[in-house]
Each structure stands twice: as C-alpha cells, then as structure tokens.
Structure 1
Amino acid sequence: MRRRPLLLLASTALAGCGFELRREPELPFKTLALTGFAPDSPLAAGLRRQIKRTPVQLLDDPARAEVVLEAAREVRDRNVVASTSVGQVREWQLRLQFDYLVRTAAGELLVPKVELRLSRDMNYTETTALGKEQEAASLYGAMQSDAIAQVMRRLAAVKLPS
C-alpha cells in the first residue's frame, strides 16, 4: 500500500524535472545507403537495426540514396597490455576501430572521414580461458553499441545541402 504513493511521487518528480527516456535521434533525411561494409559485419547489422527504428528508408543502391554512409575500415583486434615474467598474458586491450564518412549520392562530403577508436581492458587468466572469451565477446558487443550510438548521433547532426 505504501509503494503506490511513493511510486506516484517519484514519477511526478521525474516528470516535473524534465526527465525523459532517451529516444532515437531524428535523422534529417529520408533515404540512406550503407556501403563499404563486409557482408558479415556485425557493425553494419547493428546500424541497419538502429536505422530501421527510424522513418529513414535503407536503400541498397547508393546512387538513389539521399545520404550514403561509407565504411572505410572496420577492425577488431587485441593487444597484450601486461604479462608475467614467464610470458603469460595477464591483461588484454580489446580495440574496435571504425573509419567512415558521410556523403551525398553525388559525392559531396557531409561528414569528412571520422576515425572512431574504442578500447576496453580485460584481465586474463589461462585457467578461465572459455569464460574470458565470452567476456571478450561481451566487451566487443558493448563497444559496437557505443560505436553505433556515436554514428547515429553524427547522422542526426548532418546538414543537407540546399
């Protein structure tokens, strides 16, 4: 019984302060094409999912699209950050590198080449190798989500030529 008034008070306070759940960015164009991605690119698949949540129509033909997002480079890699005196890895740095540009179908640059670099550090022990591979996949997924959110915000800020 006491929960309901507290819940009502909390929701009123949040609404009164201007709190709003994050919405999908509003994109200032009607059609978009994605080019330069590998056929099995998880980043391209995530971008397609996000764009389908907006009114923008995804086209396969970049010549017919109002805006083209062109992937120049997409790389996932890992580097050793720390190792023991006998050479066993203790810490990895996972990296996601994504370079892209945004242009019109005619080739006019709307957003010059962006070099997006994300990294996460991960402790590692050989005794839990399988669990660490799952952790690495989870960290790559989180970096991919961050990259997609950054690209979507960048697309929302695009100024189309008159």
Structure 2
Amino acid sequence: MRNGLLQWIAVLLATTLIVGCGFQLRDQYQLPPSLQQVYLQAPKFSEFANVFEQRLSLAGVELVDADPGLVIAINRDELSRRTLSLSGSGQVAEYELIYSVDYSINEANKDPVDLRIEVYRDYQDDPNFALAKTRERELLVAEMREEAARRMLRQILAQLAE
C-alpha cells in the first residue's frame, strides 16, 4: 500500500514539474483568433501545399473554401542547388540544396505581408550509386519541405501576434 502511494506521489510530482516548466509537445501552438480559419491559395499540384495543409490541420487550423478574412498565398516553392565541391576527376562531389518558399499573408483591412523561407542541406553525390543517391535526395527534399512548413507556420504565428 505504501509503495503504491509513493509511486503515485512520484508520478504526480513529475507531472507537476513538467507542466510547471512550460513543457509542451512539439508543434502545439496557441492559435490567435485570426488563424482559426484560413483560406490557403496555392499552385495546383504543389507538393509543398499538401505538406503545409497537413501542418495547419495538425495545429488545429480549419481550412475553408471561401475567404474568411485571412488568406495565406503560396506564391512559389522552388528547389535549387549550388556546387560545393568537385572530385579529383572534375565531377561534382557535393551540392548544397536550397528549398525556398515565397508566400504572403493577406489579412482583411491590412496590407499584404510578403515573406520567404529558405531551408539548406548538403548533399554528397556519387555517380557510382546513382539509384541510391536519387532515393536519398528525394527523402532529403521531403524533409526540407517538412522543415519549411514548420518554419512557415511559426513565422505566420509570429507575424499575426504583432
């Protein structure tokens, strides 16, 4: 009986400490009233728009088909690369991948705010393993889209809080 009581007190104390220190699960946001309902405007077939829609839904934002007063417009998302190093034979050995998203926040009765997100990753290329490296690059780009969507949501929250 006493052992069970001590365990219960320990769990209660640990829970109180975690809650008291401000710990929150990742991607748990307190949404401002203007972000409760959003119209998302994006290019057709945009993979980033799909990722961002999922991120908004996970955050508790309701996506609507009509303009509720807040429109987030994804104007462009683009993947580019820059050469970082060459091999001894002159072939590219390493790239820097740059994923950028240009978007705007349009609130009713306010000027639109244009913003940009960029995510960088290094990628080592090896022509001897072309198939494996192609799959690795696809996974890296998907991870970059996820990171850009997280950053974009945080940036929108900060912008609307001002």
Contact 2:97 2:122 in 1 (8 A): yes
1:51 maps to amino acid: L
Contact 2:69 2:108 in 1 (8 A): yes
Q: Cα offset for 1:160?
A: 7.8
TM-superposition CA deviations, 1:114-161 (whole Å, max 9, x none): 121111011111111111111111111121111111111123234389
Match of 1:25 in 2: 29
Match of 2:105 in 1: 102
Tell me whether 1:69 sits opposite 2:65 in the alignment: no
Among all aligned residue pairs of Structure 1 and Structure 2, give the percentage whose two residues are the same amino acid: 23
1:109 maps to amino acid: D
Q: Structure 1 unaligned runs (5+)?
A: none
- TM-score, normalised via structure 1 length: 0.77
- TM-score, normalised via structure 2 length: 0.77
Tell me which protein shows more helix as a share of its residues. Answer: 2
Tell me whether 1:50 sits opposite 2:92 in the alignment: no
Aligned mates of 2:120, 2:12 — CA distance in 1: 37
2:30 maps to amino acid: E
Q: Cα offset for 1:91?
A: 0.5
- Aligned-pair Cα RMSD in Å: 2.9
1:81 maps to amino acid: L
Match of 1:128 in 2: 129
Q: Cα offset for 1:31?
A: 1.6
Contact 1:94 1:136 in 2 (8 A): no
Contact 2:117 2:152 in 1 (8 A): no
Aligned mates of 2:10, 2:140 — CA distance in 1: 37
Match of 2:3 in 1: none
Count of aligned residue pairs for this structure pair:
151
Contact 1:93 1:121 in 2 (8 A): yes
Q: Cα offset for 1:84?
A: 2.2
